[in-house]
Amino acid sequence: MTSLVLDVSGAQPLAVRVHELVIAGWTGRDAAAIEHHIEELAALGVPRPSQVPLYYRVSRTLLTQDDSIEVLGEASSGEAEPVLIRAGGRWWLTVGSDHTDRKVEAYSVAVSKQMCAKPVAGRAWPWDDVARDADALVLRSEVFERGEWVVYQQGELAAIRPLMELVSGYVGRAEPADGLVMFCGTLAVRPDAGGVGVRPTPRLRVAIEDAKRRRSITHEYRVAALPVVA
């Protein structure tokens, strides 16, 4: 059984036995922007999603709180995502990275999601504490390039569909069971100096920031590329 341990501030660490991991995709609120992105990816050979948003079930064993992961080859990258965790009959919010094999993504997004570990932070906030201000939370990622940290993604959660709406889209009216973990989508990537957007991220830092309460949750990890052999 995959387990997570979360620092929840002011209480004993929360131990979570994970029974289900879901990656929600195509979760932006701007329908026109989503369609434009779908068309951009289609031009690169990435299949069009069957519905929007789309929920990818992946192995719960992919979850990790380690500060390093191993991937096959050098064609993978991460991206910051708000992560909801159901435990103790309530929701908790943290941040993670949907690290994905971009080469495999060109022929199957679902398979690409299963190819890489999914790093997640070791701290979490009760969802009830931030629910009213959730749209103002800032999601950020930074990639270490050419000897310095560079902003890779940044924006408010207002750009992503309301997180509880995403949950309802998956579980319907059923009461979600403890142990459900859902990655809730991401933001556009900022191009580098050469105009390249999505690119390999051998070292990534992801964060979710709550300016109102002057706090943040961060997680940093390195990527070790394993050789591809025939």
Rounded to whole angstroms, what are the CA distances from 115 to 63, 166, 212? 12, 23, 37
Count the neighbouring beta carbons within 10 Å of the beta carbon of residue 91: 21
Domain extent for 39? 2-226
Do you find a cis peptide bond into 49, omega within 30 degrees of 0? no
In the predicted model, what is the mean pLDDT of the chain?
A: 93
Q: How confident is the model at residue 35 (pLDDT cuts 50, 70, 90)?
A: confident
pLDDT of 4 > 70? The answer is yes
Q: What is the CATH number of the domain that holds 222?
A: 3.90.850.10
Residue % of the chain over a pLDDT of 90: 78
- 66 close to 119: Cβ distance less than 8 angstroms: yes
Structural domain count of the chain: 1
pLDDT of 43 > 90? The answer is no
Residues in Cβ contact with 56 at an 8 Å cutoff, skipping those fewer than 6 apart = 22, 23, 24, 25, 109, 110, 113
pLDDT of 44 > 90? The answer is no
Q: How confident is the model at residue 200 (pLDDT cuts 50, 70, 90)?
A: very high
pLDDT of 223 > 90? The answer is yes
What is residue 144's predicted lDDT score, i.e. its pLDDT?
A: 96
Q: Which residue has the tokens 């519905």?
A: 51
Count the neighbouring beta carbons within 10 Å of the beta carbon of residue 133: 13
